[in-house]
Amino acid sequence: MDAVHPGLVPMHKVNFDAKSEYEMIQNYKVLQDVFNKLKITKHIEVNKLVKARPLDNLEFMQWMKRYCDSVNGGVLNSYNALERRENCKGGKEANKRAAPAQVSSKSSTVASKVHPSHNTRRNEGNPANGSQKPPKPASAAAGQAYDEKITELKLFVDSLEKERDFYFAKLRDIEILCQSPEIEQLPIVGAIQKILYATEDDPSVVAEAQAMLAQQNQQLPLSPIPEKLEEQPKQDTQKRKNISTLEVDMAAHTTLSPRQRLSDVSDVHYCGSPLTNC
């Protein structure tokens, strides 16, 4: 960030030799202040980064690299990192520790230039070494392709997690509905619960649920309500017939003449018993 935005980072507040989590957190606070000044909305997960986990730090550094490349195109012009490092706390000591390593690398380079004939002889004696080429560094295009692939996979994982949560919520709603007292005893509810609570991905669970439904339907007794409904019209018809017969008899009795009524009485014979009429 100091190379991309010169003079914006307060290097005197940065502890280059930070070892404890507290010192690392203070450095990240300085970086967060720089983000706020630049109005960068990137959230720094300090709790994960101070744990020094490779994956978390790699992801953050990849984001930092993309940001710097977007600002300066990946080119750092006349930036003296050693000089800027001396302004930090512990920066001078770090430069002193790095100096012997640089001297040794320079001496090895000079030695290789002074004795080119020995290396030539070795290569001539061992032709296999001549065929070995030093590994080529990964190009920026390949790194960008990997970053895009990682981003694509992360988006795909996020979509899968959202889809998983959606269908889990649906199944949970069905489970709550099946536990309602009004429908809990229905056969279809028992079959649904059997499928919901299956612990293994067994295709026979659906067949077992269907068999359970068929068995319970066979055990249900026939309802007597239809027979009662059929008997009810017959009783109503019989009542109407009895009422109509009684009305006809009453009408016939009222239409008889007095002489006919007396003749009907004279047909009764006395048989000698006070309780019996013949």
What tens digit of pLDDT does each residue of 207-265 get?
888 888 888 777 755 555 545 555 555 666 665 656 656 555 565 555 555 555 545 44
**So what's the pLDDT on residue 275?**
44
Q: Is the model's pTM score more than 0.75?
A: no
pLDDT digits (tens, 9 = 90+) for 160-198: 988 998 998 898 899 899 989 888 888 888 888 888 888
Sequence-separated (6 or more) residues with CB below 8 Å from residue 79: 3, 6
Q: Which domains are seen in the chain, by residue range? A: 11-109 (1.10.418.10), 159-219 (1.20.5)
pLDDT digits (tens, 9 = 90+) for 76-120: 767 787 888 777 887 666 666 665 555 455 555 544 554 444 444
**So what's the pLDDT on residue 103?**
46
Range in 28-32, 66-70, 249-253, 273-277 with the lowest mean pLDDT? 273-277
Query: Which amino acid is present at 266?
Result: S
Beta bridge partners of 89: 15
Counting Cα atoms < 13 Å in the Cβ hemisphere of 108 gives 6
Rounded Cα distance between 267 and 278, Å, is 9
Whether the Cβ atoms of residue 176 and residue 150 lie closer than 8 Å to each other: no
- The first and second tokens of residue 192, run together, are 């649904």
Predicted confidence band at 276 (pLDDT cuts at 50, 70, 90)?
Answer: very low
SS3 at position 136? coil
